[in-house]
Amino acid sequence: MKPFDIEIIKSFSEKLGLVQSPIVIMPHVNPDGDAVGSALGFANVLKNAGKQVVVISPNLYPDFYKWMAGSAEVVIFNAEREKSAKIMKEAGMLICLDFNHLSRTGEMIELVESFEGPSILIDHHPYPQNFTDLIISHPEYSSTAELVFHVVKALGMEPFVDKWAAECLFCGIMTDTGSFDYNVSDPQTFKTVSELLTYNINPEEIHGRVFDNYSVDRMRLLGYCLSECMEVYPEYHAAMIFLTKEVQKRYNFAPGDSEGFVNYPLSIKGVHFSTLFTEKDDQVKASFRSKGDFPVNEFASSHFNGGGHRNASGGEVTTNLQDTLTKYRSLLPEYAELLTKTKC
Ligand code: 5GP
Ligand code: MN
């Protein structure tokens, strides 16, 4: 891991010391386990240090993350716009976690752009946009949660980490590594986890709260998608799942129900590029995953208005689902060489 820029840590520490009014922490839109875990983990540490903290999420996150300490107090922007705007107006600092671009703030974009107090971005996505006063960007970390733990230590705030904060941070690392399946080749990540375990957290229980907590509908939806809505392209080492609105309705789709779907095709022998297209009201959400060298963040940014990490990325397009699928199918031959020579 790269060492932290001491000047930035010093400046962040000074600003934290001076802040009088509440600190707002925000994750990205459609928050995943790392976004929620790093936001609530850091919030718990700052609260233990005597700070007033409010977590504002651009939109709702799945129920299976709601066990985290402080989740009940999270303000959901698109459900409580006026309250959120008031809190942002009065806040003394803004901490943005787990995203690298203003477009990932969802409908909070104007509030973030017009925020007047000190602001900081702490994130592990490559190529951060410069929209905060300070940036702590370390793509070599497995997750923002892991990075937050080390920022907390660098700030000298380790004494304020407790079991509840450690549970949140562990959840962020666990989910962003696919339960320690990928992004874990740096020994540091396991060292971080072993430090978090000293706070008496129960990793099996946390894993169960997230991954053994699905509805029957969600399981049946997964089964349906894998049997009826998956296309496999062995010649390109690729596979794709599409999720229509009609199918979502049939299985009472709830936020988070399709989390993890995109990983399944990677279990097929020979497949190392996987895609999930989810039809929304006026757009299609794309999720991409790869094993090995194939850079899905470049694929996402070149064709699907998105970005992310080399092996996990996403994007959104406003074309309808059928046109999106046609576009995807026509792109595969263009990437044939890269996909077939990819090492994994
Ligand atoms: P997911 O497929 O789980 O939604 O997203 C995987 C990763 O891709 C996220 O951690 C994030 O880095 C990135 N990502 C997902 N959606 C978008 C998007 O619309 N724009 C950008 N820039 N990145 C995205
Ligand atoms: Mn993350």
The domain locations on the chain are: 6-211, 218-341
Euclidean distance between CA atoms 43 and 3, whole angstroms: 24
User: Which-ligand-closest: CA of 124?
Assistant: 2
Q: Class assignment of domain 6-211?
A: alpha beta
Nearest by Cα to 46 from 204, 180, 158: 158
Closest atom of ligand 1 to CA, residue 34: 10
- For domain 218-341, which CATH number applies: 3.50.50.60, 3.10.310.30, 3.40.190.10, 3.40.50.300? 3.10.310.30
User: Which-ligand-closest: CA of 27?
Assistant: 2
User: What is the CB neighbour count within 10 angstroms for residue 114?
Assistant: 10
Alpha-carbon dihedral 73, 253, 272, 294, rounded to 10 degrees: -50
Q: Is 172 in the pocket of ligand 1 (CB under 6 A)?
A: no
The stretches in the chain having pLDDT less than 50 are none
Euclidean distance between CA atoms 62 and 256, whole angstroms: 5
The residues near 260 (Cβ < 8 Å, ≥ 6 apart) are none
Q: The tokens of 127 are what? A: 């190529």
**Distance, CA of 234 to chain centre:** 29
| pTM assigned to the model | 0.94
What pLDDT, on a 0 to 100 scale, did the predictor assign at position 104? Answer: 97
The residues near 168 (Cβ < 8 Å, ≥ 6 apart) are 36, 37, 38, 40, 41, 44, 68, 69, 70, 145
Q: Is 308 in the pocket of ligand 1 (CB under 6 A)?
A: yes
| Nearest-CA residue for atom 12 of ligand 1 | 308
Instruction: List strands edge to edge, sheet with 238-243.
Output: 230-233, 238-243, 273-279, 284-290, 312-317, 307-308
| Nearest-CA residue for atom 18 of ligand 1 | 315
What pLDDT, on a 0 to 100 scale, did the predictor assign at position 341? Answer: 83
Q: Is 31 in the pocket of ligand 1 (CB under 6 A)?
A: no
8-62 residue pLDDT tens: 999 999 999 999 999 999 999 999 999 999 999 999 999 999 999 999 999 999 9
Closest atom of ligand 1 to CA, residue 101: 22
Euclidean distance between CA atoms 333 and 53, whole angstroms: 50
Euclidean distance between CA atoms 57 and 299, whole angstroms: 28
| Nearest-CA residue for atom 20 of ligand 1 | 306
Nearest by Cα to 147 from 332, 12, 293: 12
Q: The tokens of 253 are what? A: 């789709």
DSSP 117-129: S-EEEEE-SSS--
| Nearest-CA residue for atom 24 of ligand 1 | 314
333 CA to centre of ligand 2 in angstroms: 30
110-138 residue pLDDT tens: 999 999 999 999 999 999 999 999 999 99
Euclidean distance between CA atoms 96 and 94, whole angstroms: 6
